[in-house]
Structures are given as structure tokens and as C-alpha cells.
A and B are shown apart, each in its own frame.
Chain A
């Protein structure tokens, strides 16, 4: 019954590898996000999709590629992993995309996070 679920919870890998993190939400929300939380606990947005369309793409290396096969799923693929990619990655969803019409519909529901360690 988990609202936003992401897998895996832990990911340990070597530099240079390619890895994917999967995310699914069963809330019927239109918008999904990927956030990165670094060791200093800053939570920074990476990508946002609304109904499978990319609406936010922050300054993120193009080694990171999101894919949204449908509005309930948003996966994150990372190529050529680097040491600096080590962080916790959170998937999130919200009912709306941030148009400001109904701000409380834009509260985020987060997944439990994926702790990525690049060795």
C-alpha cells in the first residue's frame, strides 16, 4: 500500500558503471520528481514530469536520464557513475505540477529514498 515506492533502497557500485533507480506512485498524481539529497542534507530538484512530459530539468549532467513510461512511473538512469554522484535520491509525486491554482495540491509525497554509494 506504499504510496510512492522506489527501488532499490541501497545501491553500491563502482565508478564508471551504469545504474537505474525505479519509482512508482499509486496516488493517481499527475506530477513526479527526482530530488537529490547530498551529505549536507540539501534537497535539490533534478527533474519533474507532468503526465509523462518533462517540465523541469535542472542543471544536471546529461549522464542522468529520466524516463517516464506512464504518469505513474518515473525511472532514473545514470551512466558512467562518478564519486560525486553518491547521495540519497528521492522520488516524489504531487497532484498538480505547480501552476499555483491550488497550491496545497502541490505538496510532495516522497518515496523512501535510494542511498547510492559510488566506490
Chain B
């Protein structure tokens, strides 16, 4: 099975940086995804990591350490529109099933 843990809530100020951590335990690892979900809307793909290291995409970056079972999503220069839930999802190598964490709700304050 898979256990995926991430904080429930985080609050930050507009213009600041927030780091959302995700730890996981899985019987076989084949990639980690981050999705963004605004309230009442569908999740949308943000990033994908399969090798250790940092992937940067504009204001958003995602990091992975497979040996530690750890990833983080870094949101820079926060904007009000970044207020959303951020879902960490891990894919298993034996059957390629994707399991989601419960999500971290980020609130950006002015």
C-alpha cells in the first residue's frame, strides 16, 4: 500500500514563499505528481518528478528525494490566485496506480 502525508493547511502572505512537504511510503516508486485544486474545481497538473532533484517551472518548483521518501512543492512570489489545495500523488511501480494525499490547503493573505 501507500501512505502519503502532507500538512493540512498553510497560510502565507502575498509575495512570500511557501514550501509544502510531502512524505510517502510505497512498496515501489515510479514517480510523484503535484496537482493544484481550487475550491469547487477540478485538480490540474502542476509538476512531475521521477529522479532526485529540483524541477523548476516558473514560480513553482518541485523537489524529490527518493531515498528519503520526500518531496516538496515550492511556491514563490505568492499571488492571491495561488490560494488552493495542493495534492501530492505517488505512482506505484508494480501496477502504476496513482495514489493521492489528502491535500494541503494554502491560503494567501494580502
Contacts and interface: CB of A to CB of B under 8 A. Distances in A.
A40 B33 CA distance: 20
Nearest to A107: B45
B11 interface: no
Contact of A44 (B31, B35, B100): B100
B85 A41 contact: yes
Contacts of B50: 103
Given A103-B31, A103-B91, A112 B102 contact: no
Contacts of B97: 45, 56, 98
A110 B42 contact: yes
Contacts of A109: 45
Contacts of A44: 100
Interface residues of B, number: 24
A110 B43 contact: yes
B40 to A, nearest CB: 8
B87 A100 contact: no
Q: Which residue of B30, B91, B98 has the most chain A CB atoms within 10 A of its CB atom?
A: B98
Contact of A108 (B45, B95, B102, B103): B45
Interface residues of A, number: 23
B60 interface: no
Interface string B76-96: 000000000101010101011
A103 B30 contact: yes
Contacts of A106: 91, 96, 98
Interface in B38-95: 41-45, 48, 50, 85, 87, 89, 91, 93, 95
Interface of B: 30-31, 33, 35, 41-45, 48, 50, 85, 87, 89, 91, 93, 95-100, 102-103
